[in-house]
Chains A and B, each alone.
Chain A
Amino acid sequence: MPREIALLDALVPGLFLVFLASLALQWALDWLFGRFGLYRHVWHPPLFRLALFACVFGGLGLIAMR
């Protein structure tokens, strides 16, 4: 994946698109967790959500920028 991408002739970092994709994935994961009540087994749900997002974004970013 290129480092910078021209969106409507404005250069944006490639990671920005990865970030948007991770937000969408995070939203889906969050919905699943809420749907099946998995947050009840977690000590600190917001912190867990944050950590999950860090993992998703980090993972996708590493794959995309490899």
Chain B
Amino acid sequence: MNAYLRARVPDGAFAEAAAFARGAALDWLFVAKAALAVLLTAWLAMRLGLEQPSTAMLTVSIVIHPHSGMVLAKSFYRALGTLVGCLAALAIVGAFAQQSVPFLLAMALWIGLCAGGASLHRNFKSYGFVLAGYTAAIVALPVVNHPQNVFDSAVMRVSEVLLGVFVAGLVSDAIFPQRLGNVLRESIRAQFAGFIVFARESLRGALPRGDLEQAHLRFVREVVQIENQRSSVVFEDAGVRVRSPRMRLLNHAFMAASTSYQSLHHQLNRLQDEAQRPVRERLMALAGELGAELAPVESAPLMGPQAEALTRRLAALRERFPASIAAQRQGLAGRAERLDFDTGAELIGRIVGELHDYAQAYAALASPQAARSPAEVPAPFSRSNDWAGFLIAAARTTATMLAMGAFWLASAWPEGASAMLIATAFSGVMATLPDPLRAVRAMLVGYAAGTLAGLLCSYGVLVRMDGFALLAASLLPFLAIGFYLMARPALAGIGSGYLIAFFSTLPLKNPMTFDALAAINSSLAQAIGVVCAGLAFMLFASASDSPWLQARLLRKLRLQVASVCRLPLAGLRQRFESASRDAAAQIVAHTRAGSAESRSLLAWSLAVQETGHAVIELRKALAATDAPAALRAPIESALAALAMFYADPGHERYRRARERLSAALDEARGHAPVMAPLHLIRLALLDQRSALADFVEPPPQENPHAA
């Protein structure tokens, strides 16, 4: 039968069907695990007599994720955020127990600060911040008329959340775990193999600027994604935790190699003129030598031994490379030609070294000795944060809470607190997503469906049931719908809205109270809260739809060059590479792919990478040689002009930077190590295909009286 099937169906279709079946099986495994965790939590919460088992169940549905590392990381930060939020609630209630206005003000300020703090982080830490904010409100608001109960309320909240967190972590990590560590290993392997193969293929010929931009976009995504996965996997796997410094080194090595590599291609692309043909051909010959060493590497399984072999080959190449450079340099007559050649040759030489380091870091990660901490302590992954983002997030959340709170106090709406809470919570949580308005819309759809499902389940099914087994049986189909939605990436937002609304509509309290009217009232209030969160996002711009914020992000990216000109050299390269990529990744997340903004961002990002990298090399070379003050002064003034241009690009500043660079180049003649990076900076500044094309004008030699 099997052979018959195989004979008829082409292999590709077979593999496709198998992959589809495997994906579907994983989805349903997730649904089963999530439902099991929710029901187990419900049973335990009932056994332990917690006030609101539905909060514990809600916690499970919030932290649950197909990969156990994500669950553990999110659980950790949810637990931490809840504890901090409870402490804040105790403090605020203790200070303003009898004053409603200062109470609301203090609460709104606290939540706003937490939402602002969340905007400074990219992983689950930001979720922890948001949670610390609105947990304070969740704990304090129900007891606002009986402040003496706030401690009990806090203890209950902590118990319910911790119970949910523990059960979710246990079920997802111990029963058929889908390890995030495997995903991370696969990402790292794909990054390595992808880069080596990309380098080998593109060393054969020219790479148009558009392809370079796409490659850069991919590298930026990979770097940030691996860093984020790494920060979650450390909760799942002790083996990864001890290897974590090496993974950071690997990521830094990758960033260094890819930046140098892009610089090389910019340099090759600039040598397109017929006059520069000899230089270009000699550089291509050198690059071909490197490409030949990369040739035996396949994109398929690329494991430790292969990487070690590559490391050895690259080490040998690094040894003999100066001789190759000298051989190619012979016969180049003109000074300009030699300068172009030296600049390119030094770049290739540096790429050989950096690829060697990258391959070595990769091989070391695979070897058993990787558990030993590396000799070099890796710099942390620097983030590029904007205080405007902090202030807007804080102001949005605080204003939402104050507006809803004022409405609540003025109208004495019984459910006003609930609407205020939901609006505040969502305006904090959604702010960290790329497109908050779309997320709010998905959440609203999910809310409508979840409320209907909850009402149907409570007053159509549960009223006829008795005992926990029947309760579980009647919840199961409704839960399965929600978790299946969560397992599909495109529908995850709707799924989580559905589950939140479902759990808050359920009458699962100790003791159970069936009150359809109260349930409908509170669902309505919560839906209004979600709508108000959406309004808050329309009023207070998020980076996705505000050109002003996008321009700020872009400025932040360009300022990386300015900081590279100024900051102390120690660890500067690693800081620059990670922060500039983090800045680029943020703008990528907030712009539509292929749009004009996205193209302009990528062009600027490439220019920043190349110039920043060359500036660091220049400063390193300057620090290594005991250059005379006569050389130092013009270079420093050129760097200052360059920093000013990148901080705020303009024609006047551009001209000054170019003039000072030329002057510095004249002074640097004869200092080869300083000369090459300086020349590269100047070439990058003059590149007509780069983001600076608007500023590159023909040399000012026309008649001054012509105008």
Contact = CB atoms under 8 A, between A and B. Distances in A.
Nearest to B173: A46
Contact of B174 (A31, A34, A36, A47): A47
Which label, helix, strand, loop or mixed, suits the secondary structure of the A interface?
helix
Contacts of A44: 174
Nearest to B170: A50
B245 to A, nearest CB: 12
A48 to B, nearest CB: 10
Contacts of B173: 46, 49-50
A7 to B, nearest CB: 12
A46 B170 CA distance: 9
B243 to A, nearest CB: 8
A35 B371 contact: yes
Interface string A12-52: 00000000000000000011011111011000111101100
A31 B151 contact: no
Contacts of B174: 44, 46-47, 50
Nearest to B373: A35
A65 B368 CA distance: 42
Nearest to B372: A35
Contact of B241 (A34, A49, A50): A34
A10 interface: yes
Interface residues of A, number: 16
B170 A34 contact: no
B242 interface: yes
Interface in B117-170: 151, 170
Given A10-B151, A46-B173, A50-B174, A34 B68 contact: no
Contacts of B237: 34, 39, 45
B177 interface: yes
B238 interface: yes
B296 interface: no
A37 B371 contact: yes
Contacts of B177: 46
Given A46-B174, A46-B177, A50-B170, A34 B239 contact: yes
A35 B242 contact: yes
Nearest to B369: A37
Interface string B270-306: 0000000000000000000000000000000000000
The winner among B151, B238, B242 for most chain A CB atoms within 10 A is B238
Contacts of B238: 30-31, 33-35, 39
Contacts of A36: 371
Contacts of B68: 46
Nearest to A46: B173
Nearest to B243: A34
Contact of A37 (B151, B236, B239, B241): B239
Contacts of B371: 34-37
A45 B238 CA distance: 10
A47 B179 CA distance: 13
B434 to A, nearest CB: 32
A34 B373 CA distance: 12
Interface in B348-392: 368, 371
Contacts of A45: 237
Interface string B237-251: 111111000000000
A43 to B, nearest CB: 12
Nearest to A30: B238
Contacts of A47: 174
Contacts of A37: 239, 368, 371
B76 to A, nearest CB: 12
A39 B237 CA distance: 9
Interface in B212-265: 236-242
Contacts of B236: 46
B367 to A, nearest CB: 11
Contacts of A50: 170, 173-174
B242 A34 contact: yes
A35 B238 CA distance: 8
Nearest to B240: A34
A37 B227 CA distance: 23
The winner among B151, B173, B239, B368 for most chain A CB atoms within 10 A is B239
Nearest to B371: A35
Nearest to B234: A34
Contacts of A49: 173
A31 B238 CA distance: 6
A15 to B, nearest CB: 14
The winner among A30, A34, A49 for most chain B CB atoms within 10 A is A34
A44 B240 CA distance: 16
A39 B242 CA distance: 13
B151 A39 contact: no
A40 B236 CA distance: 14
A28 B241 CA distance: 12
A28 to B, nearest CB: 11
Contacts of B242: 31, 34-35
25 contacts: A30-B238, A31-B242, A33-B238, A34-B237, A34-B238, A34-B240, A34-B241, A34-B242, A34-B371, A35-B238, A36-B371, A37-B239, A37-B368, A37-B371, A39-B238, A39-B239, A44-B174, A46-B68, A46-B173, A46-B174, A46-B236, A49-B173, A50-B170, A50-B173, A50-B174
Interface of B: 68, 151, 170, 173-174, 177, 236-242, 368, 371
Minimum-distance CB pairs A-B, first 7: A34-B238, A46-B173, A30-B238, A34-B242, A34-B239, A47-B174, A46-B174
